[in-house]
């Protein structure tokens, strides 16, 4: 009986495994083709300064225009791209795209780029960033590099060396998705981040009677005391925005203030916003 059951499971398990490996293999092949054929596109989501309601920058978010599947979001392919080492060339492309677009924007507008742990392990991240800055000609302080705890989890000494070298170039370093990992606070102590991005889950739970509000309040205070910008991610409603502003977060990001959009729309948003600032064309 047990044997039959075992065999039954086995029979079920193999094709399932096989199917998964096959779809994984085809995703890999797809990704390699996407790199060669240039199927990636950057979207840009505004970051808004809560003190004046103005756009302070944009976060560059990777999209894959798949020829048959349509637009694919990063969570669905970045893990695979990391596994097969493709995130390194893709990440280089992302940095070049983001910096050269920022070069067309007013100089007070920043651009944020997400980095994968794999980019710290392989490749020459410092040189890649140096090149992207040099080619675009943007002021290094306009480039904000976002890392998650995953980056600090492994190879800590080497990682910290790279982070300090990046910082010495003049770029800003942000801790992304703050509060979601095991020891966010200890990571804050390991490197002097310029910015803390509070994970969107805290904003989502803001009015649910959980600890979310207290945590946002505490992190905002912490950021202020440490001289870091605090950004609330995932602001979707006017009520959330109002509460976040009350807590003193310096920056907000989310669908309520602006969705990720193509480069042309992002640039248009900036030029449309200018006359409202009273910065009339000279
Ligand atoms: P992230 O860096 O935390 O980026 C914010 C994510 O939240 C984006 O998802 C954005 O579209 C989404 N978002 C923004 N506002 C709202 C909101 O109001 N509500 C909700 N529900 N979501 C909102 P996206 O673009 O799907 O990216 C997911 C993650 O993929 C990013 O999280 C980042 O970790 C990673 N990623 C994106 N682009 C790149 C890239 O070029 N390189 C690397 N290594 N990772 C990237
Ligand atoms: Mg990010
Ligand atoms: Mg985030
Ligand atoms: Mg995230």
ipTM given for this complex: 0.98
| 172-178 and 143-147 beta bridge pairing | parallel
**Atom 7, ligand 1: residue with shortest CA distance:** 234
116 lines ligand 1 (CB under 6 A): yes
Q: Tell me how far apart the 2 most distant CA atoms of the chain are, in Å.
A: 85
Per-residue model confidence (pLDDT) at position 282? 37
- Is residue 173 within 8 A of residue 163, CB to CB? The reply is yes
**Atom 2, ligand 1: residue with shortest CA distance:** 114
Per-residue model confidence (pLDDT) at position 281? 40
Q: Which helix (H) or strand (E) holds 176?
A: strand 172-178
- How far apart CA 68 and CA 106 sit, in angstroms, is 37
- Is residue 225 within 8 A of residue 246, CB to CB? The reply is no
Per-residue model confidence (pLDDT) at position 222? 94
Q: What is the DSSP letter of 18?
A: H
258 lines ligand 1 (CB under 6 A): no
- How far apart CA 104 and CA 106 sit, in angstroms, is 7
Per-residue model confidence (pLDDT) at position 181? 80
**Atom 35, ligand 1: residue with shortest CA distance:** 74
- Is residue 235 within 8 A of residue 198, CB to CB? The reply is no
Give, for all 282 residues of the chain, the pLDDT tens digit: 444 444 444 555 566 666 666 677 888 889 999 999 999 999 999 999 999 999 999 999 999 999 999 999 999 999 999 998 999 999 999 999 999 999 999 999 999 999 999 999 987 999 999 999 999 999 999 999 999 988 988 778 899 999 999 999 999 999 999 998 877 788 888 899 999 999 999 999 999 988 999 999 999 999 999 999 999 999 999 999 999 999 999 999 999 999 999 999 999 999 886 554 444 443
Per-residue model confidence (pLDDT) at position 185? 85
177 lines ligand 1 (CB under 6 A): yes
- How far apart CA 160 and CA 153 sit, in angstroms, is 11
Q: Which helix (H) or strand (E) holds 163?
A: helix 156-169
114 lines ligand 1 (CB under 6 A): yes
Q: 43: which 2 tokens?
A: 């979207």
């Amino acid at each position: 009986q047990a044997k039959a059951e075992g065999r039954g499971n086995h029979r079920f398990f193999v094709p399932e495994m096989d199917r998964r490996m096959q779809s994984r293999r085809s995703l890999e092949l797809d990704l390699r083709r996407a790199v060669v054929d240039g199927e990636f596109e950057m979207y840009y989501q505004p970051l808004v300064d809560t003190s004046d309601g103005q756009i302070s920058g944009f976060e560059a978010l990777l999209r894959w225009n798949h020829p048959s599947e349509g637009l694919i979001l990063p969570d669905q392919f970045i893990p695979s791209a990391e596994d097969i080492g493709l995130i390194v060339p893709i990440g280089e492309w992302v940095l070049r795209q983001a910096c050269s677009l920022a070069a067309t924007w007013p100089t007070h507008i920043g651009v944020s780029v997400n980095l994968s742990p794999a980019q710290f392990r392989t490749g020459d991240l410092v040189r890649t960033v140096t090149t992207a800055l040099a080619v675009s000609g943007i002021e290094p302080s306009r480039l904000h590099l976002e890392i998650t705890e995953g980056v600090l989890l492994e190879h800590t000494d080497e990682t910290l060396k790279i982070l300090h070298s990046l910082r010495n170039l003049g770029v800003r370093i942000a801790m992304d998705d703050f509060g979601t990992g095991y020891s966010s606070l200890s990571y804050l102590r390991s490197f002097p981040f310029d910015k803390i991005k509070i994970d969107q889950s805290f904003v989502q739970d803001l009015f649910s009677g959980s600890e979310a509000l207290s945590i946002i309040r505490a992190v905002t205070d912490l950021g202020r005391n440490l001289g870091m910008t605090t950004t609330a991610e995932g602001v979707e409603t006017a009520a959330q925005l109002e509460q976040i502003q009350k807590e003193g977060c310096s920056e907000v990001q989310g669908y309520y203030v602006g969705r990720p959009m193509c480069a042309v729309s992002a640039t248009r948003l900036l030029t449309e916003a200018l006359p409202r600032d009273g910065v009339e064309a000279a």
